[in-house]
């Protein structure tokens, strides 16, 4: 006689979370053999010199546990880069930690500082991990919309959202999904707004090297006042076209970093050793990240020029590797329905911007990723022009 057993019932920590739209659209793209301009990853290889550097580290026997905070040569290279680009001197020993990607870095920062009942301001549209991270910490996300269509920060609305329980604000520049960047004036406004408070900043700057048309990335590290209250997050995966390696870093003042590391040591402890040494060696030459703005600006321009004669209206793209379009002249479908139709019927996958808002917010906008080979972009443009030519 056999007896079947069911697992005990549990109460979900994240009852509202399901499969992300990125997974859904990528699976749909594969099913329909569509050009996948939805999920944000390159389809081209990284610099072979980076692979050689990692391989050399492996063969030198650098394959055991590194220090919990990361190998010192890599932290020193990051500190030198941050000082060179933004003028802020971070101590590589006590103020920089290597993470298993930026997503882990953001989760760890939130778990380190957010207590049950705390509030964290999130500016929408926003990356989909922010709110679940806050909920896992027992906090509450307070959603403040960026200005529709322009996606500029509305500091009056941010000010109105600040209350006695506000523990932190999450900012993202260059911004995913809107491809906008914060200005020096924006950073100054933020500093003035937070000056009389104890509010901390989690600055998601993973697209820091993708700012176009001669502009510069306004890191919170440029502002001593903001740097003193900020966790600054970046991603080697985004910078060096190796998103699958899942390696990033956080820079923060020593007292904040001490709390960060208390959590970090128990959720990942540390990060892949030979990759860290390979990255440290590769960073000795700043040319790869110095060339990144021009590299992606050319791809942006190729994609925008290819869409110029269609009925898809182009929104401004000043940073990141995304391009949003207004499709209101070609369809009345909701954003998710349009992106599903676009994938299955036109053969090009995109992501609805409504997926970046809590509960959705319909603007007839879809986001494409142009971090692709030129031939990939040209194939997508051919299909889009065939369907939407004006």
Q: So where are the chain's domains?
A: 21-46+290-388, 61-286
- Which two structure tokens, joined as six digits, stand for 336? 């998710």
Quickly state the pLDDT bin for 138 (edges 50, 70, 90).
very high
- Say if residue 344's pLDDT is above 90: yes
Quickly state the pLDDT bin for 16 (edges 50, 70, 90).
confident
Q: What single-letter DSSP state applies at residue 250? A: E
Q: Could you identify the residue written with the tokens 């590290």? A: 221
The answer to whether 122 and 168 are in contact (CB under 8 A) is: no
Chain centroid to Cα 119, Å, comes to 21
The answer to whether 212 and 293 are in contact (CB under 8 A) is: yes
- Say if residue 1's pLDDT is above 70: no
What pLDDT digit, counting tens, does each position of 253-285 carry?
Answer: 999 999 999 999 999 999 999 999 999 999 999
Please provide the DSSP assignment of 147-209 as one string: PTTT----HHHHHHH--TTEEEEEEESS-TTT-----HHHHHHHHHHHTTS--EEEEE-TTTT
The answer to whether 86 and 223 are in contact (CB under 8 A) is: no
21-46+290-388 maps to which CATH number?
Answer: 3.90.1150.10
- Say if residue 2's pLDDT is above 80: no
Q: What single-letter DSSP state applies at residue 389? A: B
Please provide the DSSP assignment of 292-351 as one string: HHHHHHHHHHHHHHHHTTBSSEEPP--BTTEEEEE-TTT--S-HHHHHHHIIIIISEE-E
HSE on the CB side for 132, CA within 13 Å? 15
Give me the pLDDT at residue 205, please.
98
The answer to whether 107 and 266 are in contact (CB under 8 A) is: no
What is the rounded CA–CA span in Å between residue 242 and residue 237?
A: 4
What pLDDT digit, counting tens, does each position of 54-65 carry?
Answer: 999 999 999 999
What is the rounded CA–CA span in Å between residue 109 and residue 173?
A: 17
Count of residues in the chain = 390
The answer to whether 86 and 315 are in contact (CB under 8 A) is: no
Which of 67, 116, 55, 123 minimizes the C-alpha distance to 92? 67
Give me the pLDDT at residue 64, please.
97
The burial of 7, by beta-carbon neighbours within 10 Å (0-12 exposed, 13-18 middle, 19 or more buried), is given as exposed
Domains 21-46+290-388 and 61-286 share a fold: no
What mean pLDDT value characterizes the chain?
A: 96
The answer to whether 336 and 364 are in contact (CB under 8 A) is: no
Give the mean pLDDT of 35-41: 93
Does the pTM of the predicted model rise above 0.75? yes
373 beta partners: none
CATH topology of domain 61-286: 3.40.640
Residue 303 CB partners (closer than 8 Å, separation 6+): 323, 368, 370, 377, 381
Residue 30 DSSP SS3:
helix
């Amino acid at each position: 006689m056999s007896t079947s057993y069911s697992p005990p019932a549990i109460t979900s920590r994240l009852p509202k979370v399901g499969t992300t739209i990125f997974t859904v659209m990528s699976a749909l793209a594969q099913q329909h053999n569509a050009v996948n301009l939805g999920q944000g990853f390159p389809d081209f290889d990284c610099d072979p010199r980076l692979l050689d550097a990692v391989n050399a580290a492996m063969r030198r026997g650098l394959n055991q546990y590194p220090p919990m905070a990361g190998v010192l040569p890599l932290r020193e290279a990051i500190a030198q880069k941050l000082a060179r680009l933004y003028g802020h001197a971070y101590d590589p020993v006590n103020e920089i930690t290597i993470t298993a990607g930026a997503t882990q870095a953001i989760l760890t920062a939130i778990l380190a500082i957010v207590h049950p009942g705390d509030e964290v301001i999130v500016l929408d549209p926003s990356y989909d991990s922010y709110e679940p991270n806050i909920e896992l910490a027992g906090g509450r996300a307070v959603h403040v919309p960026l200005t529709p269509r322009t996606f500029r920060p509305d500091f009056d609305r941010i000010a109105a959202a600040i209350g006695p329980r506000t523990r932190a604000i999450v900012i993202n520049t260059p911004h995913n999904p809107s491809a906008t960047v914060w200005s020096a004036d924006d950073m100054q406004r933020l500093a003035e707004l937070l000056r009389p408070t104890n509010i901390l900043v989690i600055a998601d700057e993973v697209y820091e090297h993708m700012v176009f048309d001669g502009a510069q990335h306004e890191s919170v590290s440029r502002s001593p006042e903001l740097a003193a209250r900020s966790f600054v997050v970046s991603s080697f995966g985004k910078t060096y076209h190796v998103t699958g390696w899942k390696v990033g870093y956080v820079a923060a003042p020593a007292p904040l970093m001490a709390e960060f590391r208390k959590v970090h040591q128990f959720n990942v402890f540390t990060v892949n050793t030979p990759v860290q040494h390979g990255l440290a060696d590769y960073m000795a030459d700043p040319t790869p990240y110095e060339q990144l703005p021009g590299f992606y600006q050319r791809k942006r321009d190729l994609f925008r020029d290819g869409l110029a004669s269609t009925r898809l209206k182009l929104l401004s793209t000043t940073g990141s590797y995304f391009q949003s379009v207004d499709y209101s002249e070609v369809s009345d479908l909701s954003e998710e329905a349009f992106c599903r139709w676009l994938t299955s019927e036109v053969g090009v996958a995109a992501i609805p911007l409504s997926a970046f808002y809590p509960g959705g917010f319909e603007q007839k906008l879809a986001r494409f990723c142009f971090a692709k080979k030129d031939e990939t972009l040209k194939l997508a443009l051919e299909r889009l022009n065939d369907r939407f030519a004006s």
